A and B are shown apart, each in its own frame.
Chain A
Amino acid sequence: MRYTFAFLDEQSKRSVRRALLKAVAIPGYQVPFVSRELPISYGWGTGGIQVTCALLGPNDIVKVIDQGADDSVNALNIKRFFARTADVFTTTLTREATIIQTRHRIPEECLTASQILVLQVPYPEPLRLVEPRETETNRMHAEGDYGRMYVALYEDIVRHGEITLPWQYPTLVNGRYLMSPSPIPRFDNPKLHMAECLFLFGAGREKRVYAIPPHTAVESLAFDDYPFRAESFHGRRCERCGSTDTYLDEVIADVSGRRSHQCSDTAFCLQRQANPAHPRGWGHDLTSVPRKEET
């Protein structure tokens, strides 16, 4: 079976790229686009796949991860799809890839100016948490009227003593648009700020793309006296590589039910196993801030 390069026809790719250019020009703003049919259902990464397909060239090297792992079923399927339809090289090494498609994590290793991270987004609208009507969320974005998002955070502090949103933590991009960073854990939010790489977000079912160009200010919402805190894994380390500064998954290690922790980013974990001092390399301080009760 022969496919057009990267499955989509050239017109479709061009139309997606036009939407992406607009998205890059207006950081954080959700640009509507016409989502094409893919041999995969909505909800499984069609947005991210269309973005990647629109950008792939024969010299690109693609990495696909799902929850940080290169070897999950979904990641492998998508990676194989790109390999077959675009005949490009694939890799698990973060620094080798030119395009990285991801669901739910940003890689631990710092991305460079020649890399693009494509994130899969199920729910692009950050305000949906507080407002069901599309007409109203459109107006709120147009007028920069985000007070109600802060009300949700206020209520969170009232109920729990701190902001407890675990992922999809809303951010203000370039001081203007409120953006959902997709369901990445809040641990990854700081990586969006003033990065070297390009971040692209694709929501196939909701038919939106948005972008954070390099060196863009991305601020996670917080109060002056309740600053943004990433999760901390105090006292825990990866069982395989010993890291204490990566995002850890909690797993049931063996039949006895014993719990252990492992780096979510499997490729990075392998790097650290080979060299425990392998740096993450992001420009600014990403160290987790301890939770209130622990200080």
Chain B
Amino acid sequence: MTPVLSVRDLTVTYPSGVVGCVDVSFDIFPGEILGVVGESGSGKTSVLNAIALTLPPTRGSARFASPRLGTQALFALNAQQQRWLRQREIALVHQNPHRALNFDLSAGANVAEALLAADWRHYGRIRARVAELFERVELDLTRMDDLPGRFSGGMQQRVQLARALANSPALLLLDEPTGGLDVSIQARLLDLIRELSRGLGTAMLLVSHDLEVVRLLARRTVVMQQGRVVEAGVTDQILEDPQEPYTQLLVHSMLT
């Protein structure tokens, strides 16, 4: 099976000299959720941002199987091509909805923005698609025209999800999607993400510091520390038979 995304030797060094990640390699296959686990400074966010094409890597390659354009070498594309992919085929859900949503526009307009960026020009059809997406992420349709500031944190994340899924991306990137949310809200959001993975077959890269989240959602996991991949494997193996010292430390630090 061909991976949706093949990352090789990804290295990101920030202009200040700080190293984000070094020689990171992994594959994501169609329909699967790959977990990337690490603590602060592990490099997982650099990896995510490089794949999301918001941060240029210093070195490395990423082959993406675009459903509309065929195989693409992500980092070799120009800014316009990358934006095209970012708007249609590789979607990012931020940890903090304030960074991702425009709080001066209605929730529906935020989702519509993704469609309008993909050249949708029929208002009626845009509304219908936004409504469909709202239903998919279990948001109340009657709130489509409300401002995001009137939504709870969990609902704001659902709006982000709706927008990310608007153009049926081949790859969904999730950056600590449940960070800062109440436990019960977290649980429902994770359930939704799992449902979406099963229902839509979208490949997902899930970045989290929380092994519990990864256990719940990801069948395969990559563990990062200080910018490098320390261990990779089937998630239950990582949790029950961690091989590397750091992985063992991480697993044994879990509360349960």
Q: Do A and B assemble together?
A: yes
Please give the residue numbers on chain A whose beta carbons come within 8 Å of chain B beta carbons, in ascending order. 143, 145, 147-148, 150-151, 154-155, 157-159, 223-226
A222 to chain B, nearest CB (A): 8
B124 in contact with A225 (CB, 8 Å): yes
Q: A159-B145, A224-B121 are in contact. List 7 more A-B contacts (CB 8 A).
A: A145-B83, A147-B113, A150-B116, A151-B112, A157-B123, A223-B126, A224-B122
* B residues in contact with A223, CB < 8 Å: 121-123, 126
Binds A, one of B101-109, B184-192, B194-202: B101-109
With A147-B116, A225-B122: A154-B109 Cβ-Cβ less than 8 Å: yes
Offer 7 A-B interface pairs, CB within 8 angstroms, sorted by A.
A147-B117, A147-B118, A148-B117, A151-B105, A151-B109, A158-B109, A223-B121
CA distance A224 to B120 in the complex (A): 9
Contact of A158 with B145 in the complex, beta carbons under 8 Å? yes
Cα of A151 to Cα of B110 in the assembled complex, Å: 8
Number of B residues, CB within 8 Å of A: 20
Task: Specify the chain A residue showing the minimal Cβ separation from B109.
Answer: A155
For A225, list chain B residues within 8 Å (CB). Answer: 122-124
Q: Give Cα distance in the complex from A145 to B86, angstroms.
A: 13
Name the residue in A145, A147, A148, A224 with the highest tally of chain B Cβ atoms < 10 Å from its Cβ. A147
B113 touches A151 (CB 8 A): yes
Q: Is B79 an interface residue (CB 8 A)?
A: yes
Nearest chain B CB to A245 CB, angstrom units: 29
Q: Report if A150-B145 is in contact (Cβ < 8 Å); known contacts: A143-B83, A155-B109.
A: no
User: Is there a chain A Cβ closer than 8 Å to B16's Cβ?
Assistant: no
- Contact indicator A154/B116 (Cβ below 8 Å): yes
| Inter-subunit contact B105/A155 (CB<8 Å) | yes
Contact between B113 and A148, CB atoms less than 8 A apart:
yes
Complex Cα distance, B145 from A147, in Å, reads 19
User: Which of A143, A154, A159 is within 8 Å of B112, CB to CB?
Assistant: A154
In the bound complex, residues from chain A placing their C-beta under 8 Å from that of B126 are 154, 223
User: For the complex, what is the distance from the CA of A243 to the CA of B119, rounded to whole Å?
Assistant: 40
With a CB–CB cut-off of 8 A, which chain B residues contact A157?
123
Nearest Cβ on chain A to B54's Cβ, whole angstroms = 14
Residues of B within 8 A of A143 (CB): 79-80, 83
A232 vs B256: C-alpha distance in the bound complex, in angstroms? Answer: 70
In the complex, residue of chain A having the shortest beta-carbon distance to the beta carbon of B117: A147
Residues on A with beta carbons closer than 8 Å to the beta carbon of B123: 154, 157, 223-226
Which of chain A's residues have a CB closer than 8 A to the CB of B122? 223-225
What are the 4 A-B residue pairs with the smallest beta carbon separation, nearest first?
A147-B117, A147-B116, A223-B123, A224-B122
Give the complex CA separation of A155 and B116 in angstroms. Answer: 12
A20 CB to closest chain B CB (Å) equals: 29
Select A150's contact among B83, B87, B108, B121, beta carbons within 8 Å: B121
The closest CB in chain A to the CB of B102 belongs to A151
Distance in angstroms from B164 CB to nearest chain A CB is 15
Q: Which of chain B's residues have a CB closer than 8 A to the CB of A226?
A: 123
* Contact string against A for B residues 73-102, beta-carbon threshold 8 Å, 1 for contact and 0 otherwise: 000000110010001000000000000000
